Structure 1
């Protein structure tokens, strides 16, 4: 499967049934298109099993709740839809995207309580998110935008609207020859990349931002548990930008990114060291266990 994402063979699950890929469309007056009333999940299927798929389904429902957009399916029903999509497309190793949104209905303004909440699930083959950077170490720009305060938007939701500054920041980074961009948050602390959480190593101990203004990624939580099981000390704390020069290693985590080493952030350089390599290898083994 390849080519433009709207012109492929296969099937997408929409509102309870499989639809041929090219006909999985929505109306131009869908509320989500105008007001960003949309939440989603990105998941990976390894050898026929979606890693932590049920947790992703539960988070999708919670994201909808946080946006006052109750999703009319249970986590078990969403799990079943994902399995149906993988089977229909003969996929055992794939990226899975579940998305829920306010559709077109009687309302066409900011309020949309009379519009249906819709759900779709698609899956496709997708390799390393950062390409060769997964082995060599990604190069990150520092974004000019900042992650917003949780007082301004529900930052615990995986909501489409939160990614607008991610798209702009990633475009700017790519224009500079970088793979991605690192955000600071509204207070000036190190936050995350455009679609991944960030970890650092100093003196054999691991440091990662507290998820009080960023998404507490499922992969992030998995990696922290893995590190602690290995006996490594993990500090979840606020990290100042001036500390970047003191760290020896750095990596990103996310469902798409998996565990990706970072070689450079702005003017700061990092080694693809032993802890980073061990985490990447252990994560790869875990998702295929």
Structure 2
């Protein structure tokens, strides 16, 4: 499968039925298009099995609840629909995108309680999110924007509106020859990249920001568990940006990013060391087990 995302062969699951990929459309007055009333999940399938599928389903429902969007299907129905969509795609290794949004209806202002909540599932092949950086180490810019306070927006929802500053920041990073951008949070602490959590290594111990104003990623949680099983100390804490100079290794985690080493953030450089390589290899083995 190749080409623009609206011009491909295959089918997409929409509101309980499969439609031709090119006909999976919404109206221009869809509420989500105007007011970001949308949540989603990004998942990967390995060898025909969606990794942590149930955990992703549960997070999606929590995100929808945070945006006051009643889900029109059950957890079990969603799981069945995902599995059937993956099967119909004919793919074994694939990316799975589930999106939930307020559609067009009687409301076209900020309020949208009268509008239907819709669900779609698409599956496509997707290689390494950061390309060659998966092996060589990604280069990150430092974003101008900051992750917001939990008092300003539902920061623990995987919601479309939270990615607006991610798009802006990643565009600027790519224009500078970087793979991604690192956010600080509203207090000035190190937070995360535009679509991935971040880890650092110092003196054999792993440090990672406390996810109190951004997503506690499913891949992040998985990697922390793996590190602890290996007997490696993991310290979740607030990290100041000036501490970047003291860390020896760095990597990103996320469903799309998987485990990607980082070689540079701004003027700070990191080695792709033993702990980074080991956890990347261990994660790859886990998801394909």
Please give the range of the TM-score, normalised by the shorter of the 2 chains.
Answer: over 0.9
Structure 2 residue 197 is matched with structure 1 residue 234: no
Match of residue 36 from structure 1 = 36
- Show the 5 A alignment for 1:57-68: 57-68=57-68
Aligned to 1:12: 12
Q: Structure 2 CA distance, aligned partners of 1:70 and 1:131?
A: 37
Runs of 4+ in 1 over 6 A off after TM superposition: none
Determine the structure 2 residue equivalent to 1:77: 77
Backbone CA RMSD of aligned residues: 0.5
Matching residue of 1:116? 116
Alpha-carbon shift at residue 80 of structure 1 (Å) = 0.8
State how 1:92-107 maps to structure 2 within 5 Å. Answer: 92-107=92-107
C-alpha displacement at 1:100, in angstroms? 0.1
The residue that corresponds to 1:145 in the other structure is 145
Displacement of 1:84 in angstroms is: 1.1
Partner SS for 2:211:
coil
Higher mean C-alpha deviation, range 184-193 or range 80-89: 80-89
> What is the deviation of 1:206?
0.2
When normalised by structure 2's length, the TM-score is 0.99
Q: Distance in 2 between matches of 1:89 and 1:205?
A: 42
- Report what 2:3 is aligned to: 3
Asked if the contact 1:202/1:246 (under 8 Å) is kept, the reply is yes
Q: Which runs of 5+ in 2 are unaligned?
A: none
Question: TM-score scaled by structure 1?
Answer: 0.99
Give the superposition deviation at 1:92.
1.0
Q: Which residue is 1:198 aligned to?
A: 198
How many angstroms apart in 2 are the aligned matches of 1:204 and 1:23? 52
Count of residue pairs the alignment pairs up = 289
Name the residue aligned to 1:90.
Answer: 90
- For residues 244-259 of structure 1, the aligned pairs below 5 Å read 244-259=244-259
Shift of 1:77: 1.1
In structure 2, what is the equivalent of residue 265 of structure 1?
265
1:48 partnered with 2:43: no
Question: Structure 1 residue 74: deviation in Å?
Answer: 1.6
1:22-62 residue CA offsets vs partner (Å, 9 max, x unmatched): 00000110100000000000000000000001110111111
Cross-structure match for 1:163: 163
Task: Determine helix, strand or coil for the equivalent of 2:231.
Answer: coil
Measured in 1, the distance between the counterparts of 2:271 and 2:197 equals 18
Q: C-alpha deviations, 1:263-284, integer Å up to 9, x for none? A: 0000000000000000000000
C-alpha contact 1:174 1:180 (8 A) present in aligned 2? yes
Q: Secondary structure at the match of 2:29?
A: coil
Structure 1 position 75, deviation (Å): 1.6
- 8 Å Cα contact 1:54/1:76 also seen in 2: no
Query: CA offset at residue 76 of structure 1?
Result: 1.5
- Look up the match of 1:220: 220
